[in-house]
Amino acid sequence: MGFETILFEADGGVATLTFNRPEVLNALNAQVMDELEEALGRLEGDPALKVLILTGAGERAFAAGADIRLLAEQDPAGARALSRRGQAVLRRMETLGKPSIAAVNGFALGGGCEVALACSIRYAAESARFGQPEINLGILPGYGGTQRLVRLAGLGRALEILLSGEMISAEEAHRIGLVNKVVPDGRLMEEARGLARKLAQKSGPALQLILRAAHGGLEGGLESGLDLESDLLGLAFTTQDSREGLRAFIEKRAPRFQDR
């Protein structure tokens, strides 16, 4: 697809996107975000691709934040526009209707941490480090870090990370709920691909509806979330996959989902 800053591969229903700027610790710039959005468009338009894995090239970083030189050039209006652009790309990934798995190797700092936060699931290598160091520059996260970190880790722990700007280990990230699983460095992609292949065998419509229910429920109170869940369950029963899944259970066999 002519990408210059990312690698995009597809295999067996799983797309793998690799931030490919290892010489600058896979730092995010405008071109990276443009190419990430283009890759998400390809994923969205290909029904055969059901799960996305994101990782970083090399062993040192998943993505180590934004390009500081680019940030230093911004005026207030430019900074706001830069923030809204990054937020829009990550929100598109979050609401794509296809699960995303962050396979975090090395540093996930600043914008890189925010990319991981926007993924459905996060696996981390033992050597991974997470942080939002923007406070050390006299600014704050702009790609959703102040919002998603609070939702994942709770207000008190999130504020400690945001206000101190200090990095935390993969084990600490797991302890506070930021990371789903910590694995040995050499097994990170094996574990992430194993999960992705497992998810790719599920019903595509059901995956999409569960993501809609979970994210939609966070936007309102419990009652509105329960209403949404009921509506989406009704919608699930219009699919061929629901009939196949229920019939397969009764017949004591594995379901053969057709994503319809």
pLDDT level of residue 68 (50, 70, 90 thresholds): confident
Mean pLDDT of 59-64: 94
Q: What is the pLDDT of residues 151-198, one digit of tens each?
A: 999 999 999 999 999 999 999 999 999 999 999 999 999 999 999 999
How many Å apart are CA 26 and CA 32, to the nearest integer? 9
CATH of 6-200, one of 3.30.470.20, 3.30.750.24, 3.90.226.10, 3.40.50.2300: 3.90.226.10
Mean pLDDT of 142-147: 96
Give residue 71's pLDDT: 84
For residue 39, pLDDT beyond 80: yes
pLDDT level of residue 69 (50, 70, 90 thresholds): confident
Annotated catalytic residue: which of 37, 59, 126, 134? 134
Provide the token pair at 23. 């010489």
pLDDT level of residue 240 (50, 70, 90 thresholds): very high
For residue 65, pLDDT beyond 90: no
User: Do the bridges between strand 168-169 and strand 107-109 make them parallel or antiparallel, or are there none, so unpaired?
Assistant: unpaired
126 is catalytic: no
Give residue 220's pLDDT: 82
Q: What is the pLDDT of residues 155-167, one digit of tens each?
A: 999 999 999 999 9
Give residue 81's pLDDT: 94
Q: In what order do the strands lie in the sheet with 181-183?
A: 6-11, 14-19, 51-56, 100-104, 121-125, 181-183
Q: What is the pLDDT of residues 70-127, one digit of tens each?
A: 888 899 999 999 999 999 999 999 999 999 999 999 999 999 999 999 999 999 999 9
pLDDT level of residue 1 (50, 70, 90 thresholds): low
- Give the DSSP letter string of 209-225: HHHHHHHHHHTS-HHHH
Q: Is the dihedral of CA 166, 172, 178, 181 positive or negative?
A: positive
How many Å apart are CA 216 and CA 61, to the nearest integer? 32
Give residue 221's pLDDT: 86
Give residue 2's pLDDT: 79
Annotated catalytic residue: which of 37, 94, 114, 172? 114
Give the architecture (CATH level 2) of 204-250: Orthogonal Bundle (1.10)
b/e for 54-86, b at 16 or more Cβ within 10 A?
Answer: bbbbbeebbbbbbbeeebeeeeeeeeeebbebb
For residue 56, pLDDT beyond 90: yes
For residue 16, pLDDT beyond 60: yes
pLDDT level of residue 219 (50, 70, 90 thresholds): confident
Amino acid present at 149: L
- Domain ranges, ordered by start, for the chain: 6-200, 204-250
Contacts of 226 (CB under 8 A, 6+ apart): none
Provide the token pair at 252. 């004591």
191 is catalytic: no
Provide the token pair at 146. 């102040």
For residue 60, pLDDT beyond 60: yes
3-state secondary structure 137-198: HCCCCCCCHHHHHHHHHCHHHHHHHHHHCCCEEHHHHHHCCCCCEEECHHHHHHHHHHHHHH
